[in-house]
Structure 1
Amino acid sequence: MEQGWKKIKVYTNAIEAEIVKQMLEESGIPAIVLNKQDSSYLVFGKIELYVNQEDEQQALVLIESTTESED
């Protein structure tokens, strides 16, 4: 991973990670999903969500606000 990117969340569900990535990008925060799951089984490994370091706090607030509204 290039410098300046920070892992902010780890998922086991690729769809959930992509939804959060899309939400961040729609809010103007560039995001990258790095899928480290085994392609044969999809149960081993994690999916990591990265944002630029300067966007970390704003991204975490957005993620927190969306998960609160779902509860």
Structure 2
Amino acid sequence: MSNWQKVFSDKNEYRAEIVIAVLQDSGLQPVMVNKKDAAYQFGHFEVLVAPDHVLRAIKIIENDIEFK
């Protein structure tokens, strides 16, 4: 997993969960990394995918997910 690539990052966990669900529905196997500090509540959540799926994941995120 050390060579997996970040395709999404946000300070809100629910947005990262939505991205993961959409990517899973598209047949990918994303993972979420919590980089948020528990004591001070700063940081972010990252969604990672395998290197072979980076371009596909980015296209899905850009075309199929809209946060308002």
> Which residues in structure 2 correspond to 1:1-71 (within 5 Å)?
2-42=1-41, 44-67=42-65
Structure 1 gaps of 5+ residues are none
Shift of 1:4: 3.5
- What SS class does the counterpart of residue 47 from structure 2 fall into? strand
TM-score for the superposition, normalised by structure 2? 0.86
2: distance between equivalents of 1:12 and 1:26? 23
Task: Give the residue type in structure 1 aligned to 2:50.
Answer: N
Instruction: Report the secondary structure of 2:31's partner residue.
Output: strand
**Alignment size in residue pairs:** 68
TM-score normalised according to structure 1 size = 0.82
Q: Distance in 2 between matches of 1:20 and 1:10?
A: 10
- Residue identity over aligned pairs, in percent, reads 32
